[in-house]
């Protein structure tokens, strides 16, 4: 006797906890069901609350739990598949109801975006803010950067920021010939403003989808879309509109 465990490679407690709780979620809980609170769970497993939280954080990262301050921890539904394929070859905002224009204003692009647009950081751009809603839930917040040079027809318009202005920018953009687009996906953490629109806390993990719209040999616009990583699965259909099983 003496040794409590024979594990030659001791597994961290939170890792083991995550496994145990994960299995319990499969067998003993239904989607939407509320878990015991963190203090009770920690006591039940005989660990400090911080350790328990580390396990819950991982499960939330994997989309299996949802935690809301002041409410509790619930079992999350399977991730929603949101289509972000590039097969349509269309400008943003054509015949779609998935994206809602929120507003638009004149401004400048952050350095990384300016580089993609092949402009300098102080050149004026139209910034269009849109929100993607699926099944009643906001899943993504987007900032669309359109250099003034891409939509010269908008030069004289002086609509104060708002939905109408956003629609005008999109309309002007759609006049251009779209040559192609490319896209990248990376992990990020939600900025304060995006987090608010996505009903998450700042710093929440998000999937950042950066799209470059190409026209006449150059980059006519760049979209930076921030998807909730906990609830979303991005799908890239290739053959027709195949939908992945959940």
Partner DNA sequence: GAGTGGTCTAGACCACTAT
Partner DNA sequence: TAGTGGTCTAGACCACTCG
Return d(Cα 87, Cα 42) in angstroms, integer.
Answer: 48
Return the range that interacts with its own copies (CB under 8 A); candidates 138-146, 147-155, 161-169, 237-245. 237-245
Considering only residues 117 through 176, tell me which ones interact with its own copies, judged by CB under 8 A. none
Cα 39 to Cα 46, 73, 201: the distances in Å are: 10, 12, 21
Residue 13 · residue 45 · CB < 8 Å: no
Choose between 21 and 166: whose C-beta lies nearer to its own copies.
21
Choose between 15 and 236: whose C-beta lies nearer to DNA.
15
Return d(Cα 56, Cα 38) in angstroms, integer.
Answer: 9
Choose between 136 and 240: whose C-beta lies nearer to DNA.
136
DSSP 34: B
Q: Which x/- pattern, by CB under 8 A, does the window 29-58 give for its own copies?
A: -----------------------------x
The dihedral built from the CA positions of residue 232, 238, 240 and 245, taken in this order, carries a sign that is negative
The residues, any chain, with a CB within 8 Å of residue 242's CB and separated by 6 or more, are none
* Contact partner at residue 245 from its own copies, DNA, none, CB < 5 to 8 Å by partner kind: its own copies
Other CB atoms within 10 A of residue 205 CB:
14
Choose between 30 and 111: whose C-beta lies nearer to DNA.
30
The residues, any chain, with a CB within 8 Å of residue 67's CB and separated by 6 or more, are 56, 60, 73, 74
Choose between 106 and 242: whose C-beta lies nearer to its own copies.
242
Q: Does 212 bind its own copies (CB under 8 A)?
A: yes
Count of positions on this chain that bind its own copies (CB under 8 A): 44
Using CB under 8 A, which of 102, 159, 176, 185 touches its own copies?
185
State the residues that interact with its own copies by CB under 8 A.
15, 18, 58, 61-63, 79, 81, 86, 89, 115-116, 179-189, 202-203, 205, 207, 210, 212, 214, 229-230, 232-240, 242, 244-245
């Amino acid at each position: 006797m003496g040794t409590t465990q024979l594990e030659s490679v001791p597994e961290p407690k939170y890792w083991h906890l995550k496994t145990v709780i994960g299995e319990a979620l499969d067998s003993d809980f239904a989607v939407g069901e509320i878990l015991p609170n963190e203090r009770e769970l920690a006591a039940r497993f005989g660990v400090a609350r911080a350790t328990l939280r580390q396990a819950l954080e991982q499960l939330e990262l994997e989309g299996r739990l949802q935690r809301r301050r002041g409410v509790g921890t619930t079992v999350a539904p399977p991730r929603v598949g949101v289509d972000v394929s590039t097969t349509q070859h269309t400008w943003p905002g054509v015949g779609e109801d998935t994206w809602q224009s929120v507003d638009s204003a004149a401004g400048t692009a952050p350095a990384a975006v300016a580089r993609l647009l092949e402009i300098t950081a102080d050149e004026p751009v139209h910034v269009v803010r849109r929100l993607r809603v699926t099944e009643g839930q906001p899943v993504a917040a987007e900032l669309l950067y359109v250099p003034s040079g891409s939509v010269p027809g908008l030069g004289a318009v002086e609509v104060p920021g708002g939905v109408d202005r956003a629609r005008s920018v999109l309309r002007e953009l759609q006049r251009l010939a779209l040559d192609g687009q490319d896209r990248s996906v990376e992990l990020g953490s939600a900025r304060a403003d995006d987090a608010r629109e996505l009903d998450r806390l700042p710093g929440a993990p998000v999937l950042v989808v950066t799209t470059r719209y190409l026209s006449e040999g150059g980059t006519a616009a760049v979209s930076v879309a921030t998807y909730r990583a906990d609830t979303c699965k991005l799908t890239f259909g290739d053959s027709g509109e195949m939908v992945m099983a959940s």
